[in-house]
């Protein structure tokens, strides 16, 4: 019996020895020193045009059970032969970045008892790297580094690093783009102060000027695309600080300040179409996707002057001309738990709309709705308001999107909207919603 137990014990010991031998690398950290790049593999690194030189810190780590071990490892630049072998084995297409584009001190790294890592500085020269970016396969350029030649172990999965530099131009943009609504009435001060912040895509460390100008073509394009008829804000009724020049500094407010004299305006929807045209620092550019803003200045009657309309079911029509859930009467029953739902069964794409026949002509109105108390997929995300004198020919008044609530059970109250002409029919068209239909719990209307 004792011999059998001894035999079994010896067999188990031999099996464990083989297992440890087969998985030596897996458990290496438990009893030995191992070296590796903290950030290994491909590293994409942005170099900004505003900097002559950009530094990237490479860290080589010493790990293992004995934190006080003494060791050394060589970090070297991979040559063409090594890089070719790596590319063939890994399906990559790396090319060695030309030596004039960077500098780094390679060679032996010695770790004493207190060293947990070594940090090596890799410097990129911006102009030299930027000059390569127009070349074919320029996005394959890297600084390829490898760890080798150590008496201790090197982690085979973290022994390579390929730093891929990319020169990036910092961009200045308007913080708000597209049409930005601002509404004012007689209750407001005669001089209206508007601000339009500018934003730099990276942390600002420089002082420079941004040049803005009024561009009427932007308004013409917007009016044509949206089917509206906004008017250009008269030049004699506003001033811009520094004539439209924004002085950007690291600690500054970095914004365009505009003062509008509302006393010279008639009721209507005006726009100051602004374009960011240039930067005094050649290494910074305007963002071509965010370089314009249509700063709205709508001068409207006081909301207190508008009269509440007692809506009835007979005054409301809708498109599609059918209902799959709820009822029109639920829009005007003062109960947020009931709702009207535009018909999603008939396959009619958005826009879906509600239309209101008014008892009298109006020149201004505002409205309020409550989103359904369940299902954010039926909440309007973009709506257009139209007006008509005869209920047949409609003219678009305004488009609303960013101002709208996107959640359930929310109340939205519009600003006062001027129509530009007397109308007897108002259409609220839902242009966008997550589901392709919409539902509302309540709707209210005021007119002048």
- Residue spans per domain, the chain: 26-168, 171-299, 307-447
What CATH topology corresponds to 26-168? Immunoglobulin-like (2.60.40)
Query: Between the ranges 26-35, 183-192, 271-280, where is the mean pLDDT highest?
Result: 271-280
pLDDT confidence of residue 217? 97
* Residue 239: strand pairing partners: 259
Q: Measure Cα distances from 226 to 48, 231, 330, 396, 422 in Å.
A: 38, 14, 31, 8, 21
The answer to whether the CB of 86 falls within 8 A of the CB of 78 is: yes
pLDDT score for 68: 87
Q: Is the dihedral of CA 394, 397, 399, 402 positive or negative?
A: negative
Residue 440 has pLDDT above 60, yes or no: yes
Identify whether the C-beta of residue 303 lies closer than 8 Å to the C-beta of residue 366. yes
pLDDT in tens, 99-154: 999 999 999 999 999 999 999 999 999 999 999 987 888 899 999 999 999 999 99
Alpha-carbon distance values, 104 to 41, 120, 123, 126, 166 (Å): 18, 8, 7, 15, 18
Q: Which residues of 372-400 are buried (b: 16+ CB within 10 A; e: fewer)?
A: beeebebbbbbbbbbbbeeeeebebbbbb
What CATH fold (topology level) applies to the domain 171-299? Immunoglobulin-like (2.60.40)
In this prediction, residues 24-46 reach a mean pLDDT of 78
- Strand pairing of 395-400 and 382-388? antiparallel
50 exposure class (CB count in 10 Å sphere: 0-12, 13-18, 19+): buried
111-128 per-residue burial string, b: 16 or more CB within 10 A, e: under 16: beeebeebebebebbbee
pLDDT at 30 exceeding the cut of 90: no
More confident residue, 318 or 5: 318
Phi, psi of 214 (to 5 degrees): -80, 130
Structure tokens given for 133? 């970016």
- For residues 182-203, average pLDDT: 93
Contact status, residue 117 vs residue 38, Cβ threshold 8 Å = yes
pLDDT-derived band of residue 58, with 50, 70 and 90 as boundaries? very high
pLDDT-derived band at 2 (thresholds 50, 70, 90) equals: very low
Q: Which residues lie below 8 Å from residue 362, measured CB to CB, with a gap of 6+? A: 419, 422, 423, 424, 447, 448
Q: What are phi and psi of 119, to 5 degrees?
A: -110, 130
Contact between residue 120 and residue 58 where contact means Cβ atoms under 8 Å apart: yes
CA-to-CA dists, residue 349 to 43, 342, 345, 352, 353, angstroms: 46, 11, 10, 7, 11
Q: Do domains 171-299 and 307-447 have the same CATH topology?
A: no
Residues 35, 73: Cα–Cα separation, whole Å: 8
Do 63 and 34 meet the contact criterion of CB atoms below 8 Å apart? Answer: yes
Q: What is the pLDDT of residue 386?
A: 97
Q: Indicate the average pLDDT of the chain.
A: 92
Considering the domain delimited by 307-447, tell me its CATH architecture.
Sandwich (2.60)
Q: Has residue 25 got a pLDDT over 50?
A: no
Rounded to whole angstroms, how far apart are CA atoms 372 and 361? 30
Q: Around 317, how many Cα atoms within 13 Å sit in the side-chain half-sphere?
A: 10
Determine the longest span between alpha carbons in the chain, in angstroms.
Answer: 112
Cβ atoms within 10 Å, residue 302:
13
403 C-beta neighbours (distance < 10 Å), count? 11
């Amino acid at each position: 019996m004792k011999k059998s137990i001894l035999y079994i014990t010896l067999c188990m010991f031999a099996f464990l020895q083989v297992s440890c031998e087969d998985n030596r690398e897996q458990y290496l950290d438990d009893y030995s020193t191992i070296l590796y790049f903290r950030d290994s593999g491909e590293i994409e690194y942005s170099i900004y045009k505003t900097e002559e030189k950009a530094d990237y810190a490479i860290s080589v780590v010493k790990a293992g059970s004995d934190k006080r071990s003494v060791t050394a490892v060589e970090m070297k630049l991979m040559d063409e032969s090594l890089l070719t072998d790596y590319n063939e084995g890994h399906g990559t297409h790396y090319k060695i970045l030309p030596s004039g584009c960077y500098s780094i001190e390679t060679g032996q790294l010695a770790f004493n008892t207190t060293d947990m890592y070594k940090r090596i500085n890799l410097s990129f020269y911006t102009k030299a790297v930027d000059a390569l970016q127009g070349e074919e396969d320029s996005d394959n350029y890297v600084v390829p580094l490898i760890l080798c030649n150590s008496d201790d172990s090197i982690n085979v999965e973290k022994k390579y690093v390929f730093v891929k530099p990319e020169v990036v131009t910092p961009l200045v943009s308007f913080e708000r783009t597209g049409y930005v609504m601002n509404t004012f009435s007689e209750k407001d001060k005669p001089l209206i102060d508007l601000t339009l912040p500018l934003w730099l895509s990276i942390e600002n460390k420089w002082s420079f000027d941004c040049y803005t100008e009024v561009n009427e073509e932007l308004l013409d394009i917007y009016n044509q695309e949206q089917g509206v008829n906004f008017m250009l804000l008269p030049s004699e009724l506003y001033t811009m600080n520094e004539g439209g020049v924004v002085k950007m500094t690291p600690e500054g407010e970095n914004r365009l300040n505009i003062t509008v004299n509302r006393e010279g305006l008639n009721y209507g929807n005006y726009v100051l179409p602004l374009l960011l045209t240039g930067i005094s620092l050649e290494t910074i550019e305007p963002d071509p996707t965010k370089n314009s803003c249509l700063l709205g200045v709508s001068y409207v009657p006081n909301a207190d002057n508008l009269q509440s309309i007692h809506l009835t079911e007979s005054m409301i029509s809708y498109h599609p001309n059918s209902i799959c859930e709820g009822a029109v009467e639920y829009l005007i029953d003062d109960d947020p738990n009931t709702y009207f739902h535009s018909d999603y069964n008939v396959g009619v794409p958005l826009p879906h709309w509600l239309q209101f026949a008014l008892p009298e002509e109006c020149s201004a109105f505002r409205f309020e709705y409550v989103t359904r108390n369940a299902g954010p997929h039926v909440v309007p995300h973009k709506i257009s308001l139209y007006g008509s004198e005869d209920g047949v020919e409609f003219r678009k008044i305004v488009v609303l999107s960013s101002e709208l609530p996107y959640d359930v059970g929310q109340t939205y109250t519009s600003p006062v909207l001027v129509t530009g002409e007397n109308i007897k029919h108002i259409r609220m068209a839902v242009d966008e919603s997550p589901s392709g239909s919409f539902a509302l719990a309540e709707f209210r209307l005021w007119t002048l």
